[in-house]
């Protein structure tokens, strides 16, 4: 198997996600993965559609998702995060391909974000490798 993956990035926290993407690329290199596509989406709600499209591609063996869902003043982020994660799980089952979850949150406070950028990005890529 060629172990070709794609990465979906949420652009709402673009600077932090660009950092996560660098960690993910480094991890992919260490794990002998080829990143075929990097797809930027506006936010968490658009992640499942991008993942679905990528998993439908026979050339892609798995997807890693990178993003941040901050704690807001309402339950919107929590509800959105739960729906997105549930849908990602369902897409793995439908396509029978792994998706690594490198989404910080839902409910992340600003001080939680920076220390989690590298471990979440690397873990998302490693999860795909382990499931391949």
Domain layout of the chain by residue ranges: 4-131
The CATH architecture that domain 4-131 belongs to is 3-Layer(aba) Sandwich (3.40)
pLDDT digit string (tens) for 14-62?
Answer: 999 999 999 999 999 999 999 999 999 998 899 999 999 999 999 999 9
Residue 95 is among the residues annotated as catalytic for this protein: no
For the entire predicted model, the pTM comes to: 0.94
Alpha helices in the chain (DSSP H): 14-30, 47-55, 76-95, 110-131
Say which of 76, 95, 112, 120 is annotated catalytic.
76
Q: Please compute Rg for the chain using Cα positions.
A: 14
Q: Do residues 85 and 77 make contact, with C-beta atoms less than 8 angstroms apart?
A: no
pLDDT digit string (tens) for 80-101?
Answer: 889 999 999 999 999 999 999 9
Those residues whose C-beta lies under 8 Å from the C-beta of residue 130, and which sit 6 or more positions away, are: 98
């Amino acid at each position: 198997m060629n172990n070709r993956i794609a990465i979906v990035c949420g652009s709402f926290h673009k600077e932090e996600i660009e950092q996560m993407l660098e960690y993910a690329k480094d991890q992919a290199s260490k794990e002998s993965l080829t990143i075929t596509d990097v797809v930027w989406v506006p936010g968490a709600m658009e992640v499942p559609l991008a993942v679905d499209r990528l998993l439908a591609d026979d050339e892609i063996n798995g997807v890693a998702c990178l993003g941040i869902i901050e704690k807001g003043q309402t339950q919107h982020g929590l509800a959105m995060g739960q729906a997105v994660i549930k849908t990602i799980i369902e897409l793995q089952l439908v396509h029978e391909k792994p998706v690594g979850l490198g989404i910080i949150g839902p409910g992340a406070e600003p001080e939680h974000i920076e220390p989690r950028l590298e471990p979440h990005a690397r873990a998302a890529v490693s999860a795909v490798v382990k499931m391949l």
